[in-house]
């Protein structure tokens, strides 16, 4: 149970439902969980397959991501689960948005993670217009945070999260 008066939201950064269970056991609550493709690749099911020298097709990896996210969502149905799109600096906004539109259908408590780069901001701006909740990741500077605010202006309270990367500055 969440301590009374605690205003800070507690999120777990993991792609492993067993870690979700452990956090719930230790804390008694979680406000949400963030995932990303790298964390999913560290999931025990993915590790087992990769350790056997087998690879994933894109479709298989998306299926695993969806299965893991669904399990996490079932553990914290009242919390948020952030699902990150597959993107790099050359990925256009429309491609990120297409992924986000699909991923948001996976679970009812999804926030779609977009990178805080130019194309990610464009994708987030459109996503918010479509009432897709977003989590802006890879935010390193106040300037980026201001750009996120501008791009997502008009979103409902709680529909936009920012994941700052303080330790990587």
CATH 3.20.20.70: which residues of the chain? 85-169
pTM, 2 dp: 0.92
Q: Give residue 168's pLDDT.
A: 52
Instruction: Tell me which residues of the chain have a pLDDT lower than 50.
Output: 169
- The answer to whether residues 64 and 56 touch, using CB atoms and an 8 Å cutoff, is yes
Residue whose token pair is 């993991």: 14
CA distances from 150 to 125, 133, 153, 165 (A): 9, 15, 5, 19
* Residue 129 annotated as catalytic: no
Q: Give residue 68's pLDDT.
A: 97
Q: Give residue 166's pLDDT.
A: 78
Q: Give residue 117's pLDDT.
A: 96
Would you say domain 85-169 falls under CATH 3.20.20.70?
Answer: yes
Q: 72-98: per-residue pLDDT in tens?
A: 999 999 999 999 999 998 999 999 999
Token pair belonging to 159: 């529909």
Neighbours of 71 (CB within 10 A): 16
Reference 107, options 157, 14, 32; nearest CA is: 32
Which residue of the set 4, 42, 59, 113 is catalytic?
A: 113
Provide φ and ψ at 99, rounded to 5°: -60, -45
């Amino acid at each position: 149970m969440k301590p009374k008066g605690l205003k800070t939201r507690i999120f777990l950064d993991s792609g492993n439902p067993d870690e979700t269970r452990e956090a719930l056991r230790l804390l008694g609550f979680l406000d949400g969980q963030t995932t990303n493709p790298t964390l999913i690749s560290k999931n025990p099911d993915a590790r087992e397959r990769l350790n056997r020298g087998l690879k994933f097709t894109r479709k298989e990896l998306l299926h695993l991501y969806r299965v893991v996210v669904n399990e996490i969502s079932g553990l914290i149905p009242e919390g948020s689960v952030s699902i990150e799109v597959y993107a790099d600096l050359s990925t256009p906004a429309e491609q990120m948005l297409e992924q986000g539109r699909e991923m948001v259908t996976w679970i009812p408590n999804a926030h779609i993670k977009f990178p805080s780069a130019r194309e990610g901001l464009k994708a987030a701006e459109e996503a918010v217009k479509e009432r897709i909740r977003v989590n802006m990741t890879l935010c390193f500077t106040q300037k980026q945070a201001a750009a996120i605010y501008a791009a997502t202006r008009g979103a409902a309270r709680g529909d936009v999260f920012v994941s700052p990367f303080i330790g990587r500055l």
